[in-house]
Chain A
Amino acid sequence: MSVAYQYYTITLLVYFGVNVIAAWGLNLQYGLAGVMNFAFIMFQSAGAYTVAIMTLGPYTPFGYQHYFFGAHLPWPVSLLVATAVGAVLAFIVGSFSLRPERRDYQAMVMLVVSLIAATLVVSQVSWFNGAGGLAAIPKPFANQLKNYDLVHYGWFYVGLTAVIVLIVYVFVDRITSSPWGRRLRAMRENPEALEALGTNTRRESMKVYVAGGALASLSGGVLVQFIGAWSPGSWETAETFLYFVAIIIGGSGNNMGVLVGAALVLGAFQEALRYLPAFGYTGLAEATQFASLGGLILLFLWIRPSGLIPERRRRYFSGAS
């Protein structure tokens, strides 16, 4: 395998890891508990920005980019801080956006909140350098591994990502199969009944919202240390919907299904389309590729409406018809 192909493979593997972590986070919220987080990408971005300012070093006004605070936190402390920031942000946003009773209604509040956040980040340049975004974000262990070339370092980063993916898998798998997971599923299917049984559904929603927000934030942190740059263009609201597509195509509620969905929708589909031959005038082939992505999504939703690996039917609910 040539160096270039290796590095391409590395990129795809790291992105896959990041997308899986994020998709599992969203799956906790939506797939398991039915909370429609339309602000999802905002949490991923919060993690990316947190890790950026936590590793770029203290802010000096003489630098070429603006941000606040700034520190040199080592890996994985930077990621832990990002995870915590994601959790806190989710708690704050959840404290008002989960107040309406209806899920769809909550989703709308979150959508508007993420629009506000995106506008603020662009206009408040002193936060995260505005529309330019932050760049030159250091890579973990870059000093210790100075004599590694890009490919060696890349494989090392794949390893780091794999470890995090594994830890996250253990975490989400435990939640899914725990009594709390069962309660969340019951809440998704019939919140009124669960409420009648004495469960405070808003508190349960908040807990899972915080857990999912933390994972989303973690995924952003892992991604930004790999690509080294983050800007408002990286977290447009449309990306939130792409994560939902990944979950639904893979199999909402099923961690393995979600993994497959993330690999396909956020990885394989887009990469495969890049190899379509160029034709016609400039931009025609690219627009056709992008349109084909829509076509592929339609195709999969048509063939497997409940996902490639659907959630296992469980005895304790009557099942979706």
Chain B
Amino acid sequence: MNQITLAIGFGLVTSSILALSAVGFTLQFGVTNIFNLAFGDVMTASAFVAYLVNVKLHESIWLALVAGGLAGGVLSVLINRLIYTPFLRRGTALFTMVMVSLAVATIVQNVIQAGVGSNFYGYEPVHETSLHVAGMLLTPRQFAIIGIAVASMTGLHLLLKHTRLGKAMRATSADASLARSCGIECDRITTAAWMLSGTLCGLAGVVLVMNLATFDATTGNSFLLVIVAAAVFGTVGKPYGAMVGAVVIGISSELAAIVSPSLKDVAAFSVLVIVLIVRPNGLTLNFRIRRPVEVTAA
């Protein structure tokens, strides 16, 4: 067996998990302009919802996955409605919104910790034998994870490219006030964007935990920065950058692990930094320092 093709196969699993979350993050940031540091903690919350369904209600992991995805969507919409929208309506600068989201992240993480304590949790384990496919060695579940990621990405692509909602989202992300004057209801579009990106966030949380085998109240948050790193490749409306970022990080970290396991992230991040410096126009973030973009309809 070739160590390199094996590592690439393993990297694809990591990439799939990362792609779901990074695309969710970049979509959220692109459409709503909120650099949401609470993203990781919403992942944790969704993973716990899936835990309830899978372990307490004894339902299948796939139903739990759906529940986790929905929970992520609903929680994201709620956070937006209850906290972010009121702040934006007050004219809070977009960079200050980063700090608002940091506060939300602190609250979500510690509310979870207050509820579940400092213990570790895990879904009902399955013991599957790995299959050899094209030089890779993966379990059926891992193939499923890759499948879910590919399906989500394709679905998102079709949605953004070919539906009214997708076009409206892209228009809103490009220029909210122009979109509004063209008759797009930004409020509804924003809610839809939070639901969609939140669902990706929830799915990513559950899939991450399936892969980790165990998790606690801080798990999602500890992956946030890697997700952000992958997401910075992304341009809104075209989340392909984030997908590429996820694949780069996933595969290069597994390849680096062949040489030096303790430095696997350093290798992946260094690749990112180089790409960011060499191709600085690959991404569109949008912090305006002073003037807020009004995301909501008046």
Contact = CB atoms under 8 A, between A and B. Distances in A.
A190 to B, nearest CB: 10
Contacts of A112: 229, 232, 269, 272-273, 276
Contacts of B164: none
B229 A115 contact: yes
A112 B266 CA distance: 9
Contact of B105 (A104, A113, A116, A294): A294
Q: How large is the interface on A (under 10, 10 to 19, 20 to 34, 35 or more residues)?
A: 35 or more
Nearest to B283: A105
A116 B285 contact: no
Interface string B100-129: 101111110111011001100000000000
A111 B226 CA distance: 10
B117 A281 contact: yes
B67 to A, nearest CB: 24
Interface string B263-287: 1011001101100110010010111
B290 interface: yes
A294 B99 contact: no
Interface string A245-288: 10011000000000000000000000000000000011110011
B103 A297 contact: yes
Contacts of B289: 34, 103, 188-189
B280 A100 contact: yes
Contacts of A103: 287, 289
Interface stretch (B10-18, B83-91, B197-205): B83-91
Q: Which of B107, B117, B286 has the most CB of A within 10 A?
A: B107
Interface stretch (A54-62, A197-205, A212-220, A298-306): A298-306
Given A116-B269, A120-B266, A287-B114, A301 B92 contact: yes
Contacts of A169: none
Contacts of A282: 117
A283 B118 contact: yes
Contact of B273 (A113, A293, A298): A113
Interface residues of B, number: 48
A298 B110 contact: no
A249 to B, nearest CB: 8
A119 B222 CA distance: 13
Nearest to B263: A123
A231 to B, nearest CB: 17
A237 B100 CA distance: 16
A79 B56 CA distance: 56
B149 interface: no
Given A99-B280, A283-B117, A321-B291, A36 B95 contact: yes
A305 B99 contact: no
Contact of B87 (A188, A248, A287, A301): A301
Contacts of B98: 241, 244
A288 B287 CA distance: 31
B8 to A, nearest CB: 22
Interface string B205-236: 00000000000000000000110110010000
A109 interface: yes
Nearest to A321: B291
B103 A295 contact: yes
Contacts of A122: 262
A291 interface: yes
A9 B142 CA distance: 55
B37 interface: yes
Given A112-B269, A290-B106, A295-B107, A99 B92 contact: no
Q: Which of B100, B117, B226, B291 has the most CB of A within 10 A?
A: B100
Contact of A104 (B113, B263, B286): B286
B273 A305 contact: no
B96 interface: yes
A297 B102 CA distance: 9
Given A36-B287, A123-B262, A291 B277 contact: no
A115 B265 contact: yes
A71 to B, nearest CB: 28
Contacts of A314: none
B107 A189 contact: no
Contacts of A109: 273, 276-277
A85 B91 CA distance: 40
Nearest to A288: B114
Interface in A64-88: none
Contacts of B37: 241
Interface in A38-53: none
B277 A301 contact: no
Contact of A100 (B92, B266, B277, B286): B277
Contacts of A108: 228-229, 232, 276, 283, 285
A285 to B, nearest CB: 9
Nearest to A101: B280
A310 B100 CA distance: 18
Interface of A: 34, 36, 96-97, 99-105, 107-109, 111-113, 115-116, 119-120, 122-123, 188-189, 237-238, 241-242, 244-245, 248-249, 281-284, 287-288, 290-291, 293-295, 297-298, 301-302, 305, 320-321
10 contacts: A99-B280, A103-B287, A109-B276, A112-B276, A116-B265, A248-B95, A288-B110, A298-B103, A301-B96, A320-B291
Interface of B: 37, 83, 87, 90-93, 95-96, 98-100, 102-107, 109-111, 113-114, 117-118, 225-226, 228-229, 232, 262-263, 265-266, 269-270, 272-273, 276-277, 280, 283, 285-287, 289-291
Given A97-B277, A249-B99, 5 more contacts: A115-B226, A241-B102, A283-B118, A294-B103, A295-B107
